[in-house]
Chains A and B, each alone.
Chain A
Amino acid sequence: MSVPPTSTLVRCRGVGKAFAGRSGTVSALAGVDLEVERGEFVSLIGPSGCGKSTLLRIVGGLVPADEGEVLVDGGDPRAARTGKQFGWVPQTPALLPWSTVRRNARLLTKVNRGREAHAVLGEDETVDLLRQVGLGDFLDAYPRELSGGMQQRVALVRAFALGAPILLMDEPFAALDEITRDEMRYLLLRLWEHTGATVLFVTHSLAEAVILSDRVAVMAARPGRIVDVEEVHLPRPRSTDQEDSVEFLHHVHRVRRVLQEGMS
C-alpha cells in the first residue's frame, strides 16, 4: 500500500548550524523550526548574517545541519538533491558565459539526466517559456549580450524548466534595479502560479516578501532564528494594485515591527 503524501513538504525542527571562524565558533542558526506546505510560497526575511541563506542551503542538502532534523518530502535533503528535487536560483544569475540562452535554460535538466522522479520540460517547452518571459529574440544570444534583468529571467526559466517540486531562491533579485526588480516579482508569480511548486524565497525586501508570499518567516541574528511567521492574506493572483492596499501596508508594517524587535 502506498503512503499518501503529507501536505508538509519541508520540515525543520530545532535546526542549528555553527561555523568555525578566526575568533572561535560562530552560531549561524539555533533552534530553527519551520514547516512549508506543498505549493506554498514562503519567504525568509531578516538582517544580514541572520542565517537565511544558510537555512536555504541546509534545506537544499548543500550544507548539513549540526543539530535538529530537516526533512524534505519525508526524507533526507541530500537524497532530495540527488533526485533533483530542487530548482535553485542563486543571487547572481550564474549563467554559463559560453552557452547560449537556450542552452543555459536547459542546463539543470541536462546534468544528471534521468535522476529526477518528476517530469522535466523538453526543449520546445523551455523555448516556449523563454518566449513567455520575453526572451524569444535572444535564444541564441550569449549572456554577455543580455542586461542584468534578462540574465535573471534566464535563471528563473532554468529553475522552472527543471520541473522540480521545490524552488529555492537566494535573493534572486538583489542585484537588480528597483524597476526591473518590481517587474521580476510579477514574472516570478506568473511562472509559479502555473506550476504549483513549493517556494522558499530569501529576501531583504519587506514589500517583496509580502507581495510574493503566503507566509513570511522573520528571522533575527546572533544566533540566527525565526522570531515570527506572518501569514499574508492577500488574494491571488497578486497584482501591483495590491501594493497600494491597506492590507498590504498592514502586513509590511507588522513584518517591519517584528524585524525591529528582533534586532533590538
Chain B
Amino acid sequence: MNSVGARTAARTSAVLRWLAPVVGIAAFLGVWELFVRVFDIPEFELPAPSAILANMRDDPGFYLRNTWVTFREAALGFTVAAVLALVVATVAAASPFLERALEPLVVLFQVTPIIAYAPAIVLWVGTGFRPILIITVIVCFAPFFFNGVTGLLSVDPAALELLRSVDASPREVFWRLRLPNALPYLFAAARIAVGLALVGAVLGEFFALVPSGLGVAIKKAQAFTDTLQLWGSIFSLALLGSVIILLLGVLERNLLRWHASQTLR
C-alpha cells in the first residue's frame, strides 16, 4: 500500500472508531423507541427515549445541578480510593506478610454487598456527605488495590537487577520502575472504578438523607411514579459515566503512549 493509501485507510479507521459507538447507541435507542410505540406502552411504565430526552431538554438546570452533586461525590470517593489503595498496595508489595494479611480483608469488603452495610455506615457516621464518601471509597478500593499490587510487583526482573547493580534505593526503584510499571494496571482499575464510584455515590444518596444528587432525584421520582424524571436521571448518570470514561481515555492515551495497549487497532 502506498503512503496516500495508508493515510486514507488510517483516517477511515479513525472515523469508524468514533462512529461505531454512536451507531450502537443510536440503534439501541431506535429499537427502544420502536418497541414503546409499536406495543403502545404507557409512559408511566416505560417512556420512549424521545420523551425522556424532551424532559431533560425542558429542565436542563435540574439535571445539571443534580449531576454536578453526584459527580463531586463520585470524583472525590474515586480519588481518595485511588490514593489510599496505592499507598496500601505499596506497603503490601513491600512485604509478602503484609500482602497476605491485607488481601483477605480487602476481599471481605469487596464480596460483601455494599447495600448490606451502607445503612450501618450511615448509623455510624451520621447522615450527609460523609457516609456517601466512605461508601464510594469502599467500593472503589478493591480494583485499585489488587491492580496496584500486581503492577508494582510484576516488574521486569532484569530491570530490577540492573537498578540493583548501581545500588538503587527502594525509593528509587519505586519511582523509576515500580510506579510507572503499575500505571497501565491502575488505568485498567480506574475504568472499573468509574462505574463503581457512581454506584457508591447513588447508593450513598439513597441512605444518607441528602437534599440533592441523581440518587435523590431517582428516589423521589420513584416515590411519585415520575418515570420521565426517573429515566432522565438514569440517562444523566449514563452520560456522566461515559464522559468520565472518555476523559480517562484521553489521559490514558497521553500518559501511556509507550504502552502496547495504545497501539491503534
Contacts and interface: CB of A to CB of B under 8 A. Distances in A.
Interface of A: 60, 62, 81-82, 84, 86, 88, 90-92, 94-99, 107-108, 111-112, 115, 142-144, 162, 168
27 contacts: A60-B165, A62-B165, A81-B164, A81-B166, A84-B167, A86-B166, A88-B165, A90-B158, A90-B161, A94-B158, A96-B176, A96-B177, A96-B180, A98-B183, A107-B162, A108-B162, A108-B166, A111-B163, A111-B168, A111-B172, A112-B168, A112-B172, A142-B257, A142-B258, A144-B260, A162-B166, A168-B165
B159 interface: yes
A81 B165 contact: yes
Contacts of B258: 97-99, 142-144
B45 to A, nearest CB: 53
A62 B163 CA distance: 11
B43 interface: no
A261 to B, nearest CB: 33
Contacts of B158: 90-92, 94
Contacts of B183: 98
A96 B257 contact: no
Contacts of A91: 158
Interface residues of B, number: 21
Interface in B94-144: none
Identify whether the interface residues of B are mostly helix, strand, loop, or mixed. helix
A84 to B, nearest CB: 5
A129 B118 CA distance: 61
B169 to A, nearest CB: 8
A111 B176 contact: yes
B259 interface: yes
Interface of B: 156, 158-159, 161-169, 172, 176-177, 180, 183, 257-260
Contacts of A92: 156, 158
Contacts of B259: 97-98
Interface centre among B158, B172, B259 (most CB of A within 10 A): B158
Nearest to A142: B258
B214 to A, nearest CB: 37
Given A111-B172, A142-B257, A96 B159 contact: yes
A154 B162 CA distance: 14
A201 to B, nearest CB: 15
Interface centre among A91, A94, A95, A143 (most CB of B within 10 A): A94
A162 B167 CA distance: 13
Given A62-B161, A92-B156, A96-B159, A84 B180 contact: no
Nearest to A88: B165
A-B CB proximity, top 5 nearest: A88-B165, A94-B158, A90-B158, A94-B159, A142-B258
Contacts of A107: 162, 176
Contacts of A143: 258
A94 B156 contact: yes
A212 B164 CA distance: 27
Contacts of A97: 258-259
Contacts of A98: 180, 183, 258-259
Contacts of A115: 166-167
Contacts of A60: 165
